[in-house]
Amino acid sequence: EKWLILDLFNSSNKFRHTQVFCDVRRPCITLPGPRGIRRYEFKLHKSENEKECLNLIFIKKLLTQKGENDNFSIRRKCVYTFNALIANCWFKNKILLAGDAAHQTPPFAGQGMNSGVRDALNLSWKLAFAINSNNHKILNSYEKERKYHIAQMIKISLLMGRVLNPKNKFLGTLTRLFFYLISYYKPAKDYIFQMRFKPKPSFSEGFLWKTSNKYENELIGQLFPQPIVDNFKGKQFLLDEILGNNFFIIIYSNSPEKFISNKLIKKFKTKNINILGITPEYINPVQTTFKIVRDVSKTLSNYKYNQQLNKAFFIRPDKYIATITRADNYNSIYDLIDEFKIKLD
């Protein structure tokens, strides 16, 4: 599909949010941008000439139909071709594909750039590890972990495109009626307009280890939550500020200090793996030989994580959970080091 993209200065449309016109004659999207820019996207018909569509007379006609006056100035105008594509292979002979080189997503869900950023986050720490350890096998997990989520996002984007682009007036009327009705029911409105239907980024194969515990497996391969935490002195942080771009073992317990010895800390340090303890909101952290913080925001105080008290989470540099194991004996944590080595050999 070809769409005309217009970025305007001095637009008369000051609406803060994205507007979607499910018009059977010509679907359109408009949204605000930085520095007062307003973007319009109009679908072009197959019979329309690309050069003629960039003519100012044609552009003014389209904008006038959407309520624009003549005070605007055009910062940029171009015709984009929207594709839904995934490359067959993303890693071969030391060549890696990411972003638009690996996949192209129609813009209807607004997730094209986000998907490219997720590629970079998944790949960057693996490249650093491969270079520093002279072991490139970890790169084999990149495509396994990203490809399925990309495919799901493309499906969602295509579905949203079909909603935006009704085939006839009857479907267009039904679409507008549907959105009008759900706007009066807040849970449904929030679910749709906050795009909670988007598949969350997660994976079931790659650089991770599933266990025999179904509750642990529900969390493995997902992002570890981002609580606000405080330390022994009461200073607050976002958890990511502590984790940085490093491997971490997180001990989630009322008393994380009971499970970690100085010998164990040194052993993990040889693998560049750090240790962090997190206590629930109702337990103050203590000062010890490794960092312990408290979950101030109660982010982990839900049934999924309450079931994981006294567990050790192996967290990757991109904040995904690689595996979970018992923290109530040293051997189970020692095993993580051996598993870490086996996974890369």
pLDDT score at 299: 93
Cβ-proximal residues to 257 (8 Å cutoff; 6+ apart), any chain: 277, 286, 288, 290, 292
Which domains can be identified in the chain, with CATH numbers? Answer: 2-81 (3.30.70), 85-193 (3.50.50.60), 214-344 (3.40.30.10)
Q: Please write the tens of the pLDDT for every residue from 107-159.
A: 776 677 889 999 999 999 999 988 888 778 889 999 999 999 999 988 888 88
pLDDT score at 337: 67
Poorest-pLDDT segment among 11-25, 28-42, 304-318: 11-25
pLDDT score at 342: 58
Distance, in Å, from the CA atom of 82 to the CA atom of 172, rounded to the nearest integer, reads 22
- The alpha carbons of the chain give a radius of gyration, in whole angstroms, of 25
Instruction: For residue 174, give both structure tokens.
Output: 């039904």
Task: Give the amino acid at 164.
Answer: L
Section 268-294 average pLDDT: 92
Tell me the three state secondary structure of residue 311.
Answer: strand
Q: Please write the tens of the pLDDT for every residue from 39-80.
A: 999 999 889 988 889 999 999 999 999 989 888 999 999 998
Residue 4 predicted with pLDDT over 80: yes
pLDDT score at 330: 62
Contact between 232 and 287 (Cβ < 8 Å): yes
